[in-house]
A and B are shown apart, each in its own frame.
Chain A
Amino acid sequence: MSLLAPLFLAGLAAMVAPVLWHLIRRRPQETAPFPTLMFLEPTPPRMTKRSRLEDLLLLALRLLMLALVALAFARPYFGKPTVTASSGEETRKRLVLVDVSASLQRPGLWDAALERAEAALRELTAPDLAEVWVFDESMRQVFGAESWRQGPVAERATRALDALRKEKPGWKSTWIGRALVSSVEQLEALRTTGGAGIDKLEVVLISDFQAGSHLDGLAGHNWPKGLEVKLEPVSRGALGNASLQWIGDAEGLSSPGAAATGQRVRVQNHAKSKSQELRLGWVKPGSTTLVGKPVTIQVPPGQSRTLVAPAKEGGEEVEALWLDGDETAFDNKLYRVVNEEESLNVLALSDETAAGGSSMLYFLKRALVETGRHKFQLIHKRGGEALLPGELAAARSMVLMEPVSEEAWRAAGEFLAAGKTVMAALRGTGAAPALAKLAGVDQLPISESTGGDSILSRLDWDHPVLAPFAEARYGDFTRIRFWKHRKIDVSAIPGARAMAWFDQGDPAMVEIPVNKGRMLLLTSGWHVEDSQLALSSKFVPLLYRVLEWSGVIVDQPTQYRVGAEVSIGPGKEGETRRWSAPGGVETVLASEVSRQRVDAPGIYQLSGAGKPRRFAVNLAPAESRIEPMPSDELERLGVPVKAVPLETKTAEAGSSEKRAMQEAVAEFEGRQKGWRWFLAAAIMVLVVETLLAGWFGTRTAVAA
């Protein structure tokens, strides 16, 4: 018999207690009254032969019980375990996964993470295999298994650590879920390529395990057998934090005049914060001194406040808000870029004489309202009015509403030739010759429909104009009644593509390519004589979608999160585009680059042929939640977490062989569970002892 925890045999010392007790027990326990002690004097207790025998039996039983309990605690096992860790075979595949997300920017955390990584690497032995990866939103390898295998045994850990020391925490958010899943895949790959030894897969996850970590993908994941995930939390210093966030700006939209009045921000103070008086103001780049008139706000821990950011003062270089007074500073800066409104000229050509609801122009004017980003200039020209020089070139879009003059059709032709988009709505059949000419066909018969009321029964959701309406809750166009429409033979126009049809089968919307441009032809007007289109909820979205499709409105968000890809569109020929990152790093972009990833918070600038575009990049809000997640969160999601912290293990373990032996013994003992039998035997002895003691007690009482 061997013992797993022989230290518990010290409990055998408790066996002295019953012996002492038996000695003390010789003194009488109960006091009997007696009339007088005048004839008596104290006599020392004397042991009779009989009582000695009885007590010795009980004493032996009590000693046996204690010995059995002590042995049970010492975790006995029988036989000898077979140690699987024989030298020369790869036994452990360990992937050290180090968090480099923004929250690790806090002072001391990265050093702590390096220490943990060192401990995890140094305890590996020659046959073991290790890889070092870092992760934030994605994973990347720092030191591969191949390098580990090829390096001298003594220097492997040092080399891996040197590679890791070159890394620094970035500004991205923490995606533990993705990283764990990917790292397990990596380990699986190592297992298949490794030797024939029994593999033990380990992921040592070194992170601050902040509450803002993303754990997507962990629940329900099928973890391979033999995998152990060891968690190495690095958490130091203050856990209180307050975070700052723009409101209503996630899409880059802002209300008109937001630049002048200031933007609303949300200040959230986390539950573990100690301070609740915070100051908010603007700072210059590279400085944390508030300029202008900062505001002081009271935010109790665990609560949030929404307020209008103080007005920007101190000149152009001031570009970030700073939250002063909380315990953790890495997330206190909030960058802001407000783009100026863009003025867009829309040319409306129509000879309409009707007013109010009978006029298509009437609805068009009301649909094109000013947003914070765009300001539409609707230029209306009647047939007789001549276009001023440059007006056609300056216009970004053209809308033709019948009746229009020949002149207008010609202008549309020019507009289309410039590669722009024209939207035309038919009111009668008179436009047939002009349309045929524009489409480049000899004849294009247009006739008034006689079928009476109709609805849009079929729409081509694949068409870019209609694609946003494809979802069922937006795609119901059947409530819009069309009183009149015109029949047009789409097949007669080369390249034309119908995208919506009436229930009689006549096309309602047709895209006709003309030269470089495109024309969207509506066979029914949106004024009340023709249809309910302008009165429906679909009109304005449809109009804006057409403007987007024609490239007039370009969605250009100015606010991004770290790690996002900024869409900048492909460059034009001959144009030199420069990309300026916050650190002053400037790169020239190739013309085919249409997306640029932003890895750090700050103001980015894209300068090229046109006006420079600026982007503000801020930290993901989740990264500010630095309080630790519940300790059993990963276990709850089914991750095979090993409970024993690495530190304890390294502290007590000596050489690797000894450690392997210890592990094998622990497993062996765990299978046998011999301690249970010892404990059961102790209970049996206790029962026998109790019965015997009771019996002796009654016998003595009867004898007395």
Chain B
Amino acid sequence: MAIQNLEWRARVVVEGFWSGLHRSPYHGFSVEFSEYRQYAPGDDPRFLDWRLYGRTDRHFVRKFEDETNLRCFLLLDLSKSMDYASRGVLKADYARTLAATLARFLHLQGDAVGLLSFDERIREAVPARNRPGHLRRLMLALEKECGGVGTDLATPLKRLLEILKRRSLAVFISDFMSPLDGFELPLGTLRAGGHEVVVFQIADPMEEDLDFGDTVRLKDLETGREIDLDAPTFRERYRAKRAAHRQALEAICARHGTAVRVLRTDTPLEWALLDFLKARRQRGRGNAARM
């Protein structure tokens, strides 16, 4: 995170794995032919297939699966718990970089990218667009400070359900440091709506391992509550609880056909992204080039 500017940081990461992919970002469109339909009065005569009319003397309208490029919404957790770094990189910075990188990548592909940042409520909502300058707006929204007194994982998903009209991609970036109650239902609804969901969990090494040497007084970043903790004694129990929490998250995601990708702030972001893209390419349907 030597580069302070988020846009430049994203650009560096994107160029890095671009060259690794050897795939042109301008290859292929999201406009897909879907079916013919008999013309009905009121249909736009532009979409009449004149060749077919010539051959069959019947009026048919060409229908496309999608009239625009892919829509992608980045759901970014900017709660206080993200404002933590045991060594060097803040989880929030890591998440911002991830979001910015994806946004840039998609933007370059000509996709529309939107943003929903949240803590216990929606903080910033940027609609999905692909206009020149939109990326800049996204970057500004991403640079907002962390805040709030908690994290509500369901709220952004519910909001997304309200605003999504077409099949979209939702990238959920959070540390998932909150109860998972209420997360599954909107996720299930989203998936049932045909939307694709990608889940990233950002984790700090310290919160993974609870590696405090001695008795320590800990303060909750979100609620401000303090407790005295004898870390060596409690470490194993903590790890177990955390593992259980992750398993629960993975189970929820698995039930709805998605997976959780854990990104530790001590691993370089490029690697993590590359890993992710390769995996998606292997998933087939040929749209790995897109994501």
Interface residues of A (CB under 8 A from B): 26-28, 30-46, 48, 51, 700, 703-704
Contacts and interface: CB of A to CB of B under 8 A. Distances in A.
A40 B229 contact: yes
Give chain A's interface secondary structure class: loop
Most chain-B Cβ atoms within 10 A of its Cβ — which of A32, A35, A41, A46?
A: A35
Contacts of A42: 227-229
Contacts of A27: 215, 217, 228
B207 interface: yes
A45 B82 CA distance: 28
B230 A34 contact: no
Interface residues of B, number: 36
B161 interface: no
11 contacts: A28-B217, A31-B226, A32-B212, A32-B216, A36-B81, A37-B220, A37-B225, A39-B241, A43-B233, A44-B228, A44-B230
B218 A32 contact: yes
B215 A46 contact: yes
Given A40-B229, A45-B230, A28 B216 contact: yes
Contact of A33 (B91, B177, B219): B219
Given A38-B179, A40-B234, A45 B215 contact: yes
Contacts of B214: 28, 48, 51, 700, 704
A39 B204 contact: no
B68 interface: no
Contacts of B232: 46
Interface of B: 80-82, 84, 91, 175, 177-179, 204, 207, 212-223, 225-230, 232-234, 238, 241-242, 245
A32 B227 contact: no
Given A28-B215, A31-B218, A36 B229 contact: no
Contacts of A41: 227, 234
A704 B221 contact: no
B213 to A, nearest CB: 4
Chain B contact residues, majority secondary structure: mixed
Given A31-B219, A703-B213, A46 B230 contact: yes
B84 A34 contact: yes
B213 A704 contact: yes
Contact of B228 (A35, A36, A38, A43): A43
B263 to A, nearest CB: 15
B227 A35 contact: no
Contact of B227 (A40, A51, A703): A40
Contacts of A38: 177-179
Contact of A35 (B204, B226, B233, B234): B204
Contacts of B229: 40, 42-43
Given A27-B228, A44-B228, A45-B230, 19 more contacts: A26-B215, A27-B215, A28-B214, A34-B84, A34-B207, A34-B221, A35-B81, A35-B221, A38-B177, A38-B178, A39-B242, A39-B245, A40-B238, A41-B227, A42-B228, A42-B229, A44-B230, A700-B214, A704-B213
A322 to B, nearest CB: 83
Contacts of A44: 228, 230
Contacts of A51: 214
Contacts of A703: 213
B214 to A, nearest CB: 7
Contacts of A30: 216-217
Contacts of B207: 34-35
Nearest to B220: A37
Most central of B204, B207, B216, B238 by chain A CB within 10 Å: B216
A390 B244 CA distance: 151
Nearest to A35: B81
B179 A43 contact: no
B75 to A, nearest CB: 18
A39 B234 CA distance: 10
Nearest to A27: B228
Contacts of A31: 217-219, 226
A36 B178 contact: yes
Contacts of A35: 80-82, 84, 91, 175, 177, 204, 207, 220-222
A51 B213 CA distance: 12
Nearest to B222: A36
Contact of A32 (B219, B238, B241): B219
Contact of B234 (A28, A33, A43, A48): A43
Contact of A45 (B178, B204, B228, B242): B228
A318 B213 CA distance: 103
A40 B230 contact: no
Contacts of B226: 31
A28 B228 contact: yes
Nearest to B240: A39
A55 to B, nearest CB: 13
Q: Which of B81, B218, B245 gathers most chain A CB within 10 Å?
A: B218
A632 B227 CA distance: 64
B119 to A, nearest CB: 13
Nearest to B204: A35
A38 B151 CA distance: 12
B236 to A, nearest CB: 12
A191 B124 CA distance: 106
Contacts of B241: 39
A36 to B, nearest CB: 4
Nearest to B82: A35
B228 A40 contact: no
Contacts of B178: 36, 38
B216 A36 contact: no
A30 B218 CA distance: 9
A63 to B, nearest CB: 24
Nearest to B238: A39
A28 B242 CA distance: 24
A35 to B, nearest CB: 4
A39 B221 CA distance: 14
* Most central of A36, A43, A45 by chain B CB within 10 Å: A36
B217 to A, nearest CB: 4
A36 B221 CA distance: 6
A548 B223 CA distance: 114
A36 B179 CA distance: 11
A32 B215 CA distance: 11
A27 B232 CA distance: 15
Nearest to A701: B213
A32 B231 CA distance: 12
The 7 closest A-B pairs by CB, nearest first: A35-B81, A704-B213, A39-B241, A28-B217, A36-B177, A42-B227, A34-B218
Query: Among B82, B227, B242, which residue has the most Cβ atoms of chain A within 10 A?
Result: B227
Contacts of A48: 214
A688 B65 CA distance: 82
Contacts of B81: 35-36
Contacts of B220: 34-37
A51 B230 CA distance: 14
Contacts of B242: 39
A700 to B, nearest CB: 7
B222 to A, nearest CB: 6
B217 A32 contact: yes
Contacts of A700: 213-214
A40 B242 CA distance: 10
A51 to B, nearest CB: 8
Contacts of A33: 84, 218-219, 221
A533 to B, nearest CB: 112
Nearest to B91: A35
A297 to B, nearest CB: 78
A700 B214 CA distance: 9
Nearest to B81: A35
A34 B175 contact: no
B80 to A, nearest CB: 8
Given A31-B219, A700-B214, A46 B233 contact: yes
Contacts of A28: 214-217, 228
Contacts of A32: 212, 216-219
Contacts of B222: 35-36
Contacts of B223: 37
Nearest to B242: A39
